[in-house]
Amino acid sequence: MKTFCGRANPTTGALNWVEESDEYDYHQEIARSCYADMLHDRDRNKKYYEGIRAAVSRVKARGERVIVLDIGTGTGLLSMMAVTAGADFCYSVEVFKPMAEAAACIIKKNSFSEKIKVINKHSTEVTVGPDGDMQEKANILVTELFDTELIGEGALPSYEHAHLHLMQAGCEAVPHRATVYAQLVESEQLWSWTQIRPIQVDGHVLLPPAAVGQCPGVPAVCDIQLSQVPPTAFTPIGPLCTMFSVDFSRPVSSAARSYTCRFVVKAGGRAQVVLSWWDLDMDPSGSIVCSMAPSWTYSDPQEYPWRDHWMQSVYFLPTEKSMCEGEELRLTVFHDDYSLWYSLLDGEQADADDNYSRPCCTCQGHLVWTRPRFGELNDWQRTESYLSALRSVLRPDSVCLAVSDGSLLPVFAHLLGARKVFSLENSGMSKQVIEQFLEANSLKNGVKLLAIRAEQLTPADLEEEQISVLMGEPYFSTSLLPWHSLFFWYCRTALAGLLRPGAIVLPSSASLHLLAVEFQDLWRIRAPCGTCEGFDVSPMDEMVQQSLDFRESREAEPHHLWEYPCRALTKPCPVMDFDFQQCVPEQPIISQGTLPLIRRGQCHGFALWMEYSLTDDITVSMGLTKPVNEEGECVWSPHRKQGIYFLQTPWESSDDGWTAVSYNLTFDPSVGDIKMDFSAIQP
């Protein structure tokens, strides 16, 4: 049976009705889950196994039957570990039905069905008793309910309920304890992700609205691979602080709480950002530790266990504060049942009150712009590229129209002397944010903001003027993959009748670039698992393969590649061009070719990104920002996500392996997407 799903197309802006199987959500959830990453996390698996064996031994030493409750069982791996360690019975709870079915299949394949019962419910709905889901309460609680922020997946309410209703008094827990750490730092790089700096524009200083500078920002945690932010990018203001611990073997409360750490400023500077991560003690003695600390905290970085399902967190203070060496500070962390946030007090301020309200954006800017977008707006080299391009095309009689979301280009055009400037804003919220900028800089009459779509624009909206300069970054909040920003091209096509003959389109064109890469670690998130810690989990691989085969063609995925080191195995190459001087064609754009191998390695997939030609001699890249060096090291733009097409099986470049890659790309203008196919060329 087929169903039709309405999907907003981020490239064309249209609503497409796509025929899907009834199992579409199931396939997509399985394909894009993080289970492969977790199963490949040997450090995590090893520490859990050691902790489970130790807990089973402690319960057996007391002469008790070992009954295990595994909440959030996923593939059932931890349950199988428990039974192998000597547990008498295990209840495995998994709320996501496809994963519960996968767990049951994996458990059966490993011959554990008699000792493991899979319960497809949320743990708070599980019952105990003769007619319940569990025949008796458990005395070992095994969970993997954690996210980068530790408690963001509802760990505290789940533990609270389990101790009240599902566990025996004096039970064991694996992990036994979690500890949250934090460090206050100054970092221009990280601070640029939450505040707009003043911008110099030909003698003018464009200031951010006061509301943006005073706003505490968006409440969602900023989770990143902090190992890829070098220690040179920040200066510690204080020591690494132990903020709080949670003992999972005892009753847990999900009530809001706060914890404060006092310390003396070790180096003067501006307190801006809190770096945070956590550790898991798998046993009461703390001898089995699974740490989320970034690689630069290790004496030997080679010992760092890479993982992507758990990363590190960055929290931004509501406002930056200047600190002097020797000053006493109090860093306070607050948490509700799902999230953390931080505040800072000096020695003369009153103690933090019991206000547990989460910070939230009051200026709307943090809702319109993502953190990478803040960084992009603060990138002075990028800004200078756009300013240089505008200077070369603007004339005193120029009538400009900007097409981007929440862009400052129309403000730049006005300051550079354009006669009239209009700007299309797809949302009322982004329109209000730009209005704040105009008002803060006394430019309200300089730019006319239009909350209207390109195809709805009329000559009356433009005051009967014809557009002489159509410009865009292009940036759109709905874009996921690099080519989704071609929405600018569709807008340019819709506006063709409003353009003056010979009108300038900036950027004038774009090109899609391609590079075969070997990942240092990212390959793990899509690699087959096969056997994990001696258990056959291949049914997961089969389910993932089914989900990939379900799609007519495999799709690229968006990733911030600056967080994931990789080596270039071919030269970067432009593989498809898009001419914005012309309207979107009706026929597909097809590109075929080959890329020779120039470095040996294991090809895990292909990186794809867009580059925009603003003028004949000014280009901005949304991918590589520096030439690839002799070793193949790649430096990626942190402001945009690049596309990654993962190979189902990596290609080895041995003596009899592949020597080049052939590509076949088709851009379908009717849907705005790119179908792609790659094959290895043998010697």
> ω into residue 10 within 30 of 0, thus cis?
no
CA dihedral (315, 633, 665, 656) positive or negative: negative
Task: Please give the pLDDT value at position 29.
Answer: 53
Task: Please give the pLDDT value at position 597.
Answer: 93
CA 52, CA 57: separation in Å to the nearest integer? 9
Q: Which two tokens stand for residue 284?
A: 């009461």
Spatial contact of 115 and 90, defined as CB atoms under 8 Å apart: yes
C-alpha distances out from residue 206 to 414, 415, 617, Å? 12, 9, 26
Kindly report, residue by residue over 264-296, the tens digit of the pLDDT: 998 899 999 999 999 999 999 999 999 999 999
CA 24, CA 74: separation in Å to the nearest integer? 20
Report the relative pairing of strands 67-71 and 138-143 from DSSP bridges: parallel
What residues pair up with 535 in beta bridges, in sequence order? Answer: 532
Mean pLDDT computed over 462-484: 95
> ω into residue 528 within 30 of 0, thus cis?
no
Spatial contact of 270 and 186, defined as CB atoms under 8 Å apart: yes
CATH of 178-357, picked from 2.70.160.11, 2.40.160.10, 1.20.1730.10, 3.40.30.10, is 2.70.160.11
CA 70, CA 103: separation in Å to the nearest integer? 12
C-alpha distances out from residue 408 to 368, 374, 571, Å? 13, 12, 34
The packing angle between helices 538-550 and 24-31, to 10°, is 120
Instruction: Please name the residue that has the structure tokens 């942190």.
Output: 638
Binned at pLDDT 50, 70 and 90, residue 493 comes out as: very high
C-alpha distances out from residue 596 to 92, 140, 286, Å? 50, 56, 52
In the chain, the percentage of residues whose pLDDT exceeds 70 is 92
Residues whose CB falls within 8 Å of the CB of residue 486, separated by 6 or more in sequence, listed in order: 11, 474, 510, 578, 672
Angle at 230 between CA 229 and CA 236, to 5 degrees: 95
Length of the chain in terms of residues written: 683
User: In 94-149, which ranges are continuous DSSP H helix?
Assistant: 97-109
Comparing 34-48, 146-160, 409-423, which segment has the lowest mean pLDDT? 34-48
With 0-12 / 13-18 / 19 or more C-beta atoms within 10 angstroms meaning exposed / middle / buried, residue 326 is: exposed
> Higher confidence at residue 220 or residue 670?
670
Residues whose CB falls within 8 Å of the CB of residue 76, separated by 6 or more in sequence, listed in order: 70, 92, 102, 103, 104, 106, 107, 112, 116, 118
> ω into residue 507 within 30 of 0, thus cis?
yes
Spatial contact of 324 and 222, defined as CB atoms under 8 Å apart: no
Instruction: Of 211, 214, 217, give the one whose Cα is nearest residue 439.
Output: 211
Task: Please give the pLDDT value at position 283.
Answer: 97
Instruction: Please name the residue that has the structure tokens 């354009």.
Output: 418
CA 59, CA 139: separation in Å to the nearest integer? 8
Mean pLDDT computed over 23-36: 55
Instruction: Of 115, 116, 118, 136, give the one whose Cα is nearest residue 127.
Output: 136
Comparing 40-54, 76-90, 170-184, 419-433, which segment has the lowest mean pLDDT? 419-433
Is 50 exceeded by the pLDDT of residue 48?
A: yes
Helices (H) and strands (E) in the chain, counts: 15, 36
Instruction: Of 527, 513, 468, give the one whose Cα is nearest residue 495.
Output: 468
Is 70 exceeded by the pLDDT of residue 551?
A: no
Task: Please give the pLDDT value at position 246.
Answer: 97
Binned at pLDDT 50, 70 and 90, residue 347 comes out as: low
The distance between the two most distant Cα atoms of the chain, rounded to a whole number of Å, is 90
The packing angle between helices 97-109 and 538-550, to 10°, is 140
Kindly report, residue by residue over 620-638, the tens digit of the pLDDT: 999 999 999 999 999 999 9
Kindly report, residue by residue over 592-621, the tens digit of the pLDDT: 999 999 999 999 999 999 999 999 999 999
CATH of 514-520+565-681, picked from 3.90.180.10, 3.30.420.40, 2.70.160.11, 1.10.10.10, is 2.70.160.11
Task: Please give the pLDDT value at position 164.
Answer: 98
CA 563, CA 559: separation in Å to the nearest integer? 9
In the chain, the percentage of residues whose pLDDT exceeds 90 is 83
Task: Please give the pLDDT value at position 611.
Answer: 98
Kindly report, residue by residue over 571-598, the tens digit of the pLDDT: 999 999 999 999 999 999 999 999 999 9
Q: Is 364 left (phi over 0), alpha (psi -120 to 50) or beta?
A: left
The DSSP call for residue 545 is H
**Which CATH code is given to the segment(s) 371-506?**
3.40.50.150
Kindly report, residue by residue over 72-125, the tens digit of the pLDDT: 999 999 999 999 999 999 999 999 998 999 999 999 999 999 999 999 999 999
Instruction: Please name the residue that has the structure tokens 């691989």.
Output: 541
Binned at pLDDT 50, 70 and 90, residue 553 comes out as: very low
Is 80 exceeded by the pLDDT of residue 494?
A: yes
Binned at pLDDT 50, 70 and 90, residue 427 comes out as: confident
In this structure, the number of other CB atoms found within 10 A of the CB of residue 60 comes to 15
* Chain-centroid distance, C-alpha 649: 25
What topology does CATH give the domain 35-175?
Answer: Rossmann fold (3.40.50)
Kindly report, residue by residue over 318-344, the tens digit of the pLDDT: 889 999 999 999 999 999 999 999 999
In this structure, the number of other CB atoms found within 10 A of the CB of residue 455 comes to 11
What residues pair up with 573 in beta bridges, in sequence order? Answer: 514
Task: Please give the pLDDT value at position 552.
Answer: 41
Task: Please give the pLDDT value at position 428.
Answer: 87
Task: Please give the pLDDT value at position 426.
Answer: 82
Task: Please give the pLDDT value at position 6.
Answer: 47
Binned at pLDDT 50, 70 and 90, residue 348 comes out as: low
Q: What's the pTM value of the predicted model, to 2 decimals?
A: 0.93
Q: Which two tokens stand for residue 446?
A: 């300089």
In the chain, residues under CATH classification 3.40.50.150 are 35-175, 371-506
- Residue positions annotated with a catalytic role: 144, 153
Amino acid letter for position 516 = A
In the chain, residues under CATH classification 2.70.160.11 are 178-357, 514-520+565-681
Binned at pLDDT 50, 70 and 90, residue 220 comes out as: confident
Task: Please give the pLDDT value at position 177.
Answer: 98
